Amino acid sequence: NRLFVEIVEGCRLPVLRKNQEHEDEWPLAEILSVKEVSSRKLFYVHYIDFNKRLDEWVTADRLDMKKLQFPKKEAKTPTKNGLPGSRPSSPEREVVSICCTKTCEYCSYTIIAAKVHESNVGIVHNQDSQDSSDGIPTAPRMTGSLVSDRSHDDIITRMKNIECIELGRHRLKPWYFSPYPQELTSLPILYLCEFCLKYLKSLKCLQRHLTKCNLRHPPGNEIYRKGTISFFEIDGRKNKSYSQNLCLLAKCFLDHKTLYYDTDPFLFYVMTEYDSKGFHIVGYFSKEKESTEDYNVACILTLPPYQRRGYGKLLIEFSYELSKVEGKTGTPEKPLSDLGLLSYRSYWSQTILEILMDLKPDNGERPQITINEISEITSVKKEDVISTLQYLNLINYYKGQYILTLSEEIVDGHERAMQKRHLRIDPKCLHFTPKDWSKRGKW
């Protein structure tokens, strides 16, 4: 016991991780917090090189004290302006010319963001995948998801603070910190109205609220319905309370700082599933009313009970259908979460392969298509088309020109994937008229 007293925040040591899919393992972990419950010490650990959603409280018997490392004192980092505590400025980096025509200053900023997840989609750089707690840009971001500068984050925001959320018929275990009022974070269960997303401290309060809450679907306009799937468009200025509550819920499952209170510049597209009790939230994406970077998605999330069922791809497909109606190409705001990156790569791959496999030979010659044409047909931004073709390793240089080569393996894999993809957006069921927000003053 005397040894455990010496464990402080910042210590690192191997911790027994209970792995449900494989054998138990002892990865290196960092102690983020220590507390005592019923005279027993508990340690909040972050497994190094694992996603933060796996962080947890553990008991002392799961710590390998023989390999305990105490935190090192960090030297203050001087910068070019001589002020301590700031990060050194990024060196210029080599950029693949086909993918990026921006200035070096822009590229170095983008590369920093790229560190967060495997590679920055749309610009091809060789960056190692890192946990999303590292490599956030220090430059201010005037963009949709307001990604935080982690140098300002404190230890509190690195720890999950909500034990459990009850939302309709589902109980959800949050993955990350969300800034719900502090007095609610000690509750065993936080209750949410599944229609207006208001948070309440007890089942009694929820039941009382439900007698007064008239909503049976998200506020705003229903702009799509096919079968049991509907999409509602919500203006962050007109429905501020709902939008803020949606962001608080989403933050439980998104590892970057989403907007909390300034929802005015955003539209929210909420996907629901209908039954006799109402329209139940499945997921959503937010979108800036005006984006200088052609972002058609700021934050995107499928709630955990609905994941791995094709809904994530349906949300992405819907965002591009909106872009098609707007007559624009779009791209999601970076950095994407790890699950978001997987979903987008899969969607881009399937969408582009669908077009390539439908091409017909022209007068006996091999069929031809330009990157711009693929981009125009799909509304996928040109940089994302290029990065996907490179990711799939389809581009080859042959006799002085670039050609796309589809192997049997790629074709077979694509056909198998498309057979499993039962959920698709039907453009005929979309009733959406884009607004010109630039002419609407302050939205």
Contacts of 400 (CB under 8 A, 6+ apart): none
In contact, 366 and 352? CB cutoff 8 Å: no
Burial 64-77, CB ≥16 within 10 A → b, else e: eeeeeeeeeeeeee
Strand pairing class (229-235; 221-226) = antiparallel
Compute the radius of gyration of the chain from its Cα atoms.
Answer: 24
Q: Hey, which residues are catalytic here?
A: 333
Q: Measured between alpha carbons, how far is 70 from 68 in angstroms, rounded to an integer? A: 7
Ramachandran region, residue 85 (left: φ > 0; alpha: ψ -120 to 50; beta: rest): left
In contact, 195 and 217? CB cutoff 8 Å: yes
Q: Measured between alpha carbons, how far is 224 from 230 in angstroms, rounded to an integer? A: 5
CA atoms within 13 A on the CB side of 31: 28
Token pair for 168: 């309709």
Token pair for 89: 């400025």
At 284, give phi and psi (nearest 5°). Answer: -160, 165
Question: Could you tell me what percentage of the chain is helix, strand and coil, using 3-state DSSP and rounding each to the nearest 5?
Answer: 30, 20, 50
Count helices and strands in the chain by DSSP H and E runs = 9, 17
Helix axes 338-358, 371-378, angle to 10 degrees: 110
| Spatial strand order in the sheet of 266-275 | 221-226, 229-235, 266-275, 278-288, 300-302
Q: Measured between alpha carbons, how far is 235 from 289 in angstroms, rounded to an integer? A: 9
Name all contacts of 303-307 with Cβ < 8 Å and 24+ positions apart.
Answer: 303/167, 303/170, 303/172, 303/253, 304/172, 304/173, 304/253, 305/170, 305/172, 306/273, 306/282, 307/339
